[in-house]
Amino acid sequence: MQKFLDEIEECVPALRRYARALTRNADRADDLVQDCLERAIRKQSLWQPTGSLRSWLFRILLNLYRNELRTAQRRGAHVPVETLLVEPSVAPTQPGRIALAEMASAIDALALEQREALLLVVLDGMSYADAANSIGIPIGTLMSRLGRARAALRTMTGSGDEPRLRTVK
């Protein structure tokens, strides 16, 4: 029991990071993580120790987030712009570096299924197998979503144009 809780605790920073990226709101993100942890701890008997605890937690988080989105859509709610967590703490000094604000709005414009897949793989560094498991899709589907997400981001941020290409080693 204690070990189970310790293992969950190790995942909390990653869950918070992913939730922030999804919701763009630190408080909403922590609410989501709290719901996720409460559910996981209450339903711990449902967790199969054969699977990865980490991907199970992310699956719960994602389901909660999708439910929340559906509810918000029914209510017609939206996230006000000023609450977005866009803090370009690092100025885009390097050539070829994508402006962070531009990137943020491009990510927002992605379809949900592409956004959740891309952020999961990139931010958490989760293996493709675990990520596909968390999202609940076959690995081939995950790969095609990643491909489409990256192509769409490139179009929207204009990072595919010539001058920037030359800066690649």
Partner 1 sequence: MTRAPFAIDADALHAYADGQLGEVERAAVERHLAANPDSAADVAAWQRQNEAMRALFPSTAGETAPARLSPHRISHNQRFERQQSLRNIAAALVLVVLGSGIGWFGRDYLTPTRAASDSLIEAAVTAHTLYVKEKSRAVEVAADAPNLMSWLSDRITTQIDAPDLTADGFRFLGGRLLPSAPTDGLPSPAAQLMYENSEAQRLTVYITAALPDKKESWIYRKGGSSDAYYWSTPTITCTVVASVPESQVKMLGHKIAEQLTWRADSTPRDW
| Residues near partner 1, by CB under 8 A | 1-2, 5-6, 8-9, 12-13, 16-17, 20-21, 30, 33-34, 37-38, 41-42, 85-86, 88-90, 96-98, 100, 103-104, 107, 118-119, 121-123, 125, 127-128, 143, 146-147, 150, 153-154, 157, 159-160, 165, 168-169
Cβ atoms of residues 40 and 57 within 8 Å: yes
Minimum Å gap between C-beta 67 and partner 1 is: 19
- The smaller minimum CB distance to partner 1, of residues 77 and 139, is found at 139
HSE-up of residue 165 (Cα within 13 Å, Cβ side): 5
Position 54, amino acid: R
- The smaller minimum CB distance to partner 1, of residues 100 and 137, is found at 100
- How does 108-132 read in b/e, with b if 16+ C-beta sit within 10 Å? eebeebbbbbbbbbeebebeeebbb
Nearest Cα to 116, choosing from 42, 58, 73?
A: 58
Minimum Å gap between C-beta 123 and partner 1 is: 6
Position 43, amino acid: K
- The smaller minimum CB distance to partner 1, of residues 37 and 135, is found at 37
